[in-house]
A = this chain, B = another copy of it.
């Protein structure tokens, strides 16, 4: 029922210069690897990217950074990416650092028709500067507005042809909220199964949020291999 793209190139064909895109993943886990590579190849520029991290220097969103395709980055953590830190400190890239929970909630709110909400995170810090502060039950909270995107590029383990998605372990992270907050959500999945093959009680992302599917093998690079 949902379009299945024949290539990553086809999947990102409608993404134009200046687009706002959400990209799923935490570190390199759960990132839509092939969709990102397709954006690099397409050379689309002036992107506003909403993603918790910005990849590493040679993989994931780090590739878009290196090519200076990102105008503005909204995320919570840049620690692992030297080129990102360099572009931020030199002012080459605009960055909006957002507490991770606030980022997750802003994206959820965007997908859920909630334009703004109060949260304690960031009160008394630079994050709350210029924003409304209000007291509830004797504690201060800051008003944060929702985020939406033109496109959400996400990664799941399995999809059925309706577009229902199941994620693997901690590869879930930001993907389900981003699926809800993109005007167009494209899911890169490891496997597409027949409609009806997924248990409806275990669906993480219901099909209503998904506009297109791409089956693609994943490298799943490991950032910090740590063993016993």
A residues in contact (CB < 8 Å) with B: 105, 109, 112-120, 134, 136-137, 139, 141, 145, 166-169, 199-202
Give the CA-CA distance A131 to B208 in the complex, in Å.
Answer: 32
With A136-B145, A145-B136 known to touch, is A169 a contact of B114 (CB < 8 Å)?
A: no
Q: Contact between B109 and A119 (Cβ–Cβ < 8 Å)?
A: no
**26 A-B residue pairs with CB within 8 Å:** A105-B112, A105-B114, A109-B117, A113-B119, A113-B120, A114-B117, A114-B118, A114-B119, A115-B118, A115-B136, A115-B137, A115-B139, A115-B141, A116-B118, A116-B134, A116-B141, A117-B117, A117-B118, A166-B201, A167-B201, A168-B201, A169-B200, A169-B201, A199-B202, A201-B202, A202-B202
Which single residue of chain B is at the shortest CB-CB distance from A148?
Answer: B137
Say how far A111's CB is from chain B's closest CB, in angstroms.
Answer: 13
Give the CA-CA distance A202 to B118 in the complex, in Å.
Answer: 30
Chain B residue numbers with a CB within 8 Å of A105 are 112, 114
Give the CA-CA distance A87 to B119 in the complex, in Å.
Answer: 38
Give the CA-CA distance A109 to B114 in the complex, in Å.
Answer: 12
Which single residue of chain B is at the shortest CB-CB distance from A113?
Answer: B120
Give the CA-CA distance A200 to B136 in the complex, in Å.
Answer: 35
Give the CA-CA distance A48 to B105 in the complex, in Å.
Answer: 29
